[in-house]
Amino acid sequence: MGDQRKYFIPCPHCGEYQELEFKQLNPEYKAGVLEDAWYECGKCSNPIFNYHKPVMLSKARWQPTAETSIKNLVSRHISTLYSPMMSWTAMFQKYLEAQRDPDGMRSFVNLYLGLPFKEKGARPQMEKVIELRGGYREGIVPNGVLFLTMFIDVQRGSEKDPNNPPRVEMEICGHGALFRTWSIAYKRFEGPIDDPYDGAWEALNEWAVNGGLSFKRADGKEFQTAIVLIDSGDGMYVDVVYRFTSRWQNTYPSKGFSSLQKRKEEKSDDVGPANFKRYRAARSEKHGDVIFYELATNYYKGHIITI
């Protein structure tokens, strides 16, 4: 919504001010190995080398590229192409490395280009989706389910919108082979969310105490919810979430991260780069050494599939 300012720098050859764009980088290879990368001026097409950066940056200027209806709303975008600490050769090498990892381009586009990443792929046909849909009743565990999990989300709502009250929302999912999941139950509990023993939290607790966490299969086999995770990403209610998790067994706060790097004492997971973790249990010393779960959200979003 801002004026979308870009950092324009002058070409050392023609003097034309321009935004640096990755598509203008040109790699040079020797014996199949990346040796150098230079920038092609978008105006005169002359080569610009990394040693030109200091002089160009000393003359750079922020320039608005859009009009905004909100007065004085300034917004800026800049990429690592401008960085005096990373050469264009090193950046192009990062791009090549990103090609080897299924999630690599997401990180490269986000972290080095500073841009949103757009997934590419085929959209499933609606007829195919309808053909694959299952038929089962809410609250009944279908055949194929191995265990149940619950995830709870905290919503602040809006004081001005009566249709968007403060609440906690929960979904119980059944999990089977090949990443298949079934939605077993979904509920929302409205009310104040600033006290783990009152309002929406107490309504949730009463529902659970009265058998809400137990479900049956058609043949009578009973399933208990194996683990409950509550999103603690909203900084305003972190303490409330941590206090509520102490009321139930096998219930933990969770926090999502776009990706997780392994720690020195950890083993990496067998997916992605060598320093990658899908999830891990950690301890919060601030909250009495309580265990919470960190989740690599980009990894799991990439595994939402139709089977």
Rounded-to-integer distance, Cα 184 and Cα 223, Å: 11
Helices in 170-264 by DSSP H: which ranges? 199-207, 238-245
Q: What is the value of pTM for the model shown?
A: 0.59
> What are the φ/ψ torsions at residue 121 (nearest 5 degrees)?
165, 175
Q: Reduce the DSSP state of residue 253 to 3 states and report it.
A: strand
Half-sphere exposure (Cβ direction) of 229: Cα atoms closer than 13 Å: 16
Largest Cα–Cα distance in the chain? 79
Asked if 47 and 54 touch (Cβ cutoff 8 Å), the reply is no
pLDDT at 167: 95
Among 26, 22, 80, 82, CA closest to 53: 82
Rounded-to-integer distance, Cα 171 and Cα 215, Å: 13
What is the enclosing helix (H) or strand (E) of 294?
strand 290-296
Q: Which has the higher per-residue pLDDT, 15 or 119?
A: 15
> What are the φ/ψ torsions at residue 138 (nearest 5 degrees)?
-60, 135
pLDDT at 52: 96
Rounded-to-integer distance, Cα 90 and Cα 31, Å: 18
| Angle, CA of 7, 116 and 80, to the nearest 5° | 40
Q: Which has the higher per-residue pLDDT, 277 or 211?
A: 211
**pLDDT (tens digit per residue) in 24-55:** 999 998 888 899 999 999 999 999 999 999 99
Q: Where are the domains of the chain?
A: 5-112, 126-301
The residue count for the chain: 307
Token match 């603690």: residue? 232
Among 133, 213, 211, 209, CA closest to 172: 213
pLDDT at 247: 92
**pLDDT (tens digit per residue) in 220-240:** 999 999 999 999 877 788 999
